[in-house]
């Protein structure tokens, strides 16, 4: 699919394998989630707008480049918080919007419990951060909400995606590019990604 970018890198493969391993403890899970998120954010920002900037090095004048303040991060609570910290290290000035969504354990349908977005989304490049794209319900709801508030340029930054979620998101929001580190096999009967890595939020926050 042309709207999906699956990022491949040996550092990514290494850290993703540690995230997937059920024996990985919380400390290690957080560490490697940070590495994977950094690589994803670097890739997802590879076409953000820049302007030229005249500077002087100690030896000469030169034309450098400066990133325009045009990016907004929107982590999907709670697991998306894990990707916000690494993202903020690269663009510490970027405004952050939040949406809180929680899947019902029985139906796997997400319920929204919080929303706070920055103003003027129309002129911004919005990067939605959510490590798991399973049924796609959470990301579809998030992007619906962002478009309602005026956002036009939106990308989803994930870590593991299921084909079912990619399909739904691409159908509902074909204009949204999806960045992911892996496209897994399928969803199980409880709508968990297989082979996946289990419940990302619980593993990252130690609430298993």
Active site residues: 103, 107, 199, 202
d(CA 73, CA 208): 27
Q: Does 134 bind ligand URA (CB under 6 A)?
A: yes
Residue whose structure tokens are 């990619």: 166
Applying CB under 6 A, does 108 fall inside the site for ligand PRP?
Answer: yes
Which of 33, 72 has the CB closer to ligand URA? 33
Cβ 83 to ligand PRP shortest distance, Å:
10
Q: How many residues bind ligand PRP (CB under 6 A)?
A: 22
For residue 51, the Cα-to-chain-centroid distance in whole angstroms is: 25
Is 196 an interacting residue with respect to ligand URA (CB under 6 A)? yes
Structure-block tokens of residue 125: 């490049």
Q: Are 159 and 183 in contact (CB under 8 A)?
A: no
Q: Which of ligand URA, ligand PRP, none does residue 193 bind to, with CB < 5 to 8 Å depending on kind?
A: ligand URA
Other beta carbons within 10 Å of 59: 6
Contact between 136 and ligand URA per CB under 6 A:
no
Which helix (H) or strand (E) is 165 found in, with range?
A: helix 163-172
The binding site for ligand URA (CB under 6 A) comprises 132, 134, 192-193, 196, 199-201
């Amino acid at each position: 699919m042309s709207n999906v970018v699956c990022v491949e890198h040996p550092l990514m493969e290494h850290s993703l394998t540690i995230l997937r391993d059920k024996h990985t403890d919380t400390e290690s899970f957080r560490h490697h989630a940070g590495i994977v998120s950094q690589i994803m954010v670097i890739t997802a920002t590879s076409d953000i707008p820049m302007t030229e900037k005249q500077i002087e090095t100690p030896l000469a004048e030169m034309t450098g480049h400066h990133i325009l303040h045009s990016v907004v991060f929107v982590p999907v609570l709670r697991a998306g918080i894990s990707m916000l910290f690494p993202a903020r290290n690269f663009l510490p000035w970027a405004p952050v919007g939040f949406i809180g969504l929680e899947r019902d354990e029985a139906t796997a349908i997400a319920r929204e419990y919080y929303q706070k977005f920055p103003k003027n989304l129309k002129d911004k490049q919005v990067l939605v951060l959510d490590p798991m794209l399973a049924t796609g319900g959470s990301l579809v709801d998030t992007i619906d909400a962002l478009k309602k508030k005026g956002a036009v340029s939106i990308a989803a930054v994930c870590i593991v995606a299921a084909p079912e979620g990619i399909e739904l998101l691409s159908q509902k929001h074909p204009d949204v590019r999806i960045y992911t580190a892996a496209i897994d096999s399928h969803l199980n009967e409880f709508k968990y990604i297989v082979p996946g890595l289990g419940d990302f939020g619980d593993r990252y926050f130690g609430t298993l």
